Structure 1
């Protein structure tokens, strides 16, 4: 275990009754004070991973280590871990102060100490003025903050967040992303968040674990996941990506010349990339260029994206490409049917593993 590792999942598997595989021997190290997101589609294993860490699911095999100590068999209340659930799980018959202080009251603390800790937690989440309010009278964003305060007031080593922002509207969700990151940095607590929202994960995570079918596809920072996805699945799940089947034309010193139909371009690859057989290349829409001398194609559709216009184009051999064009650079209307000439920014394409 690395010196800064707080939590480790070691060869953890979970097989549900009937044989469904929830987790398939995953290994994961999580650092002290890290904001880590588990990202993937429904059924990928992210929530099962969270429940295993929290003690709500017992793994079929493998271990969960905290500070090097095996906590696999400990019940949820015996772990220094708290959870913010998707539906907040607040007590409707209690006011804000009673909800936040509930966990402290179970520890037998005095009323004065509970009140002090509750007020401090509510100050952190910006709800000190709502201490006597009924939770049923609060907005969705306020209820989410109460749930956060209730989780942090007990000073857990690890805070688990199960899609905590999914019930909020888009504008409030963005505000709460900023608040979550601010709170995590201020507390220095390790946060582990489950989400299926790639934008949310990219916005606030230190690292992201992309999961698929009970396995980890890639663990990396947001920038690395976006710029250098390792697999076809990650490339398709993180942002928008043109994924093209291609063939090797020429090996170069630090890159490869490949061709997808009539489109030839330079691509880079990781050192572990197998280069035998058919290849798969990923190209971000902003790296497809409209310029003279490129391969001829035609626009088949457009989508307004604020400061950019997203074009869907097709080459004569049927290959489709998605292109993002800054609207400030647009000198033409790019209506469907318009002819364009397309190329790929040098070195921007990346060869991907198929699994």
Structure 2
């Protein structure tokens, strides 16, 4: 992977009519051959970022650079980037071949060369047998593949994907996630995808950019983002998380010991984004799978009352309340447990070794 970024947003801000801030001084480097997802809730700036990259929106300030060259003022069709839209934007009056070859026709390639490129693109997405089919006869997944082939046929430097799988049902969506990653790995093309789906971003991205209110909260690999959130927003947004008020009991080179109500948690030094002093108020986060429950008290456990239980197939999620009012989510393997965890039952909770993370001051 090259040292210099392929695509860079350099201090980009976007203020819409009426004063709404779409992006607030965003700087983002994307490397050659990366699969990057822009993730966040509605209105966070992810689609605005993509539209600025594509040239469909002009930034209020800042620059868009490709290979170090300023492309901020280039029109969309003058940029070596292609976009796959959420609704696919296929032409219903054209067949599959005509849809895929539309961009090539604007470049006025010789017919034989264009036909070859169209066939190669359709073979890449597994639709060689649909070359003459009408778009109206295709399934949702097939239409999505046609849109991908149309975007890839012109060999873009960067492929921009605006929630490309959101219209698909759950099973097909999962299949297409695998296909997207396979295609990107095979081609080595840089993919930048907008999504609001955490699981989608975590499953196929090399890096994830989490945005909130037009600003970048964190940029990290999926595993780092899940295991080491650096802000409360990311901790709350990525997966399920217990975020607890705590008091620092001791800070050493080995880590931080805190009390969250009656629960004592020893957090390793590498899991503390800050090293607050003894007596300070802080926030800690613990994943539901980092907590265990048992039906009898023992050392380092605290009593809790189950308030509700949710069934998630192979897993049960327990919602419990410990003394002092702290509420926790705890995930347990359903088939590993012979106990019945009904609402009102008293259980005893402990954290697994090395669990938790200090987020900073409350």
TM superposition score normalised by structure 1: 0.97
Q: Does 1:11 align with 2:11?
A: yes
Structure 1 position 347 matched with structure 2 position 347: no
Maintained 8 Å contact 1:232/1:354: no
Which residue number in structure 1 is paired with residue 228 of structure 2? 228
Per-residue CA shift, 1:25-83, capped at 9, x if unaligned?
01111010000000000000000000000000100111111111111110100100000
Cα offset for 1:278? 2.4
| Structure 1 residue runs of 4 or more that deviate by more than 3 Å after TM superposition | 268-272
Q: SS of 1:182's equivalent?
A: helix
- Secondary structure of the residue aligned to 2:101 is helix
Does 2:332 correspond to 1:325?
yes
- Change over 3 Å in CA distance of 1:61–1:91 after alignment to 2: same
- CA gap of 1:209–1:354, structure 2 versus 1, over 3 A, is farther
Residue 87 and residue 290 in structure 1: after superposition, are their counterparts in 2 closer, same or farther (change >3 A)?
same
Q: Deviations over 1:81-124 (max 9, x none)?
A: 00000000000000000000000000010111111000000000
User: Does 1:313 pair with 2:320?
Assistant: yes
Q: The residue matched to 2:72 in structure 1 has which SS? A: coil
User: Contact 1:231–1:354 (CA<8 Å) still a contact in 2?
Assistant: no
- The alignment covers a number of residue pairs equal to 354
CA distance in structure 2 between the partners assigned to 1:57 and 1:174 by the alignment: 31
288-297 vs 156-165, which moves further = 288-297
Q: Aligned with 1:352: secondary structure?
A: strand
What is aligned with 1:42? 42
CA RMSD of aligned residues (A): 1.4
Q: CA deviation at 1:254?
A: 2.4
Given candidates 289, 302, 307, the residue that maps to 2:292 is: 289
* SS of residue paired to 1:155: coil
Quick one: which of 307, 311, 331 aligns to 1:300? 307
1:309–1:327 CA contact under 8 A, matched in 2: yes
Contact 1:265/1:346 (<8 A) preserved: no
Going from structure 1 to structure 2, the CA distance change for 1:354 and 1:63 (only over 3 Å counts) comes to farther
**Shift of the alpha carbon at 1:272?**
5.2
Provide the rounded CA distance (Å) in 1 between the counterparts of 2:7 and 2:225: 22
Please tell me whether the aligned partners of residues 250 and 257 of structure 2 are also in contact (alpha carbons under 8 angstroms).
yes
1:157 matched residue in structure 2: 157
CA distance in structure 1 between the partners assigned to 2:273 and 2:248 by the alignment: 16
Question: Compared with structure 1, are the counterparts of its residues 217 and 308 closer, same or farther at alpha carbon in structure 2 (3 Å cutoff)?
Answer: same
What SS does the corresponding residue of 1:165 show, helix, strand or coil? coil
> Any stretches of 5+ residues in structure 1 without a counterpart?
none
Q: Which moved more, 1:324-333 or 1:27-36?
A: 324-333
Moved more, 111-120 or 338-347: 338-347
Q: Distance in 2 between matches of 1:14 and 1:68?
A: 21
Q: Under a length normalisation based on structure 2, what TM-score does the superposition of the two structures give?
A: 0.95
- Structure 1 range deviating more: 247-256 or 64-73: 247-256
Listed as ranges, the matches of 1:51-200 within 5 Å are 51-200=51-200
Aligned to 2:274: 273
CA distance in 2, matches of 1:189, 1:246: 46
Mark the CA change 1:135 to 1:286 in structure 2 (over 3 Å): closer, same or farther.
same
* Equivalent in the alignment of 2:341: 334
